[in-house]
Amino acid sequence: MTRLVELEETGPRKLEPSDIDDEKGDVAVCRCGLSDSFPFCDGSHRRTRDEDPDETYVYEDGERRVVERVVTEAEADGNGNDSGNGDGDE
């Protein structure tokens, strides 16, 4: 599956010791792009659990829509990102 996400930030967010969850003792960084507390995970990734691997989604105003995937020239040439994150837990 692929997800189209709009982000408005233009620079990094440095993590601080105060970002550590007091109860869990860690920092969970959002990788799905849906968190309302971005860059931190807020559990919104649960909404992606039933995504079809062959579809591309947009989440907007609480709704999920399937959209046509835009194929870049690099992807069409076989040089595109495979959309995996390399950690093997997809």
Q: Residue numbers of the site for ligand FES (CB under 6 A)?
A: 30-32, 34-35, 41-45
CA distances from 76 to 3, 7, 31, 68, 79 (A): 18, 25, 25, 15, 7
**63 phi, psi to nearest 5 deg:** -110, 150
Q: How far is the CB of 72 from ligand FES (least distance, A)?
A: 24
Closest separation between CB of residue 36 and ligand FES, Å? Answer: 8
Between residues 42 and 74, which has the closer beta carbon with respect to ligand FES? 42
Residue with smaller CB distance to ligand FES, 2 or 35: 35
Q: Which of 80, 3, 55 is nearest to 34 (CA)?
A: 3
Is 45 or 56 the residue whose CB approaches ligand FES more closely?
45
Nearest approach, Cβ of 43 to ligand FES (angstroms)?
6
- Cis peptide leading into residue 53 (ω within 30°): no
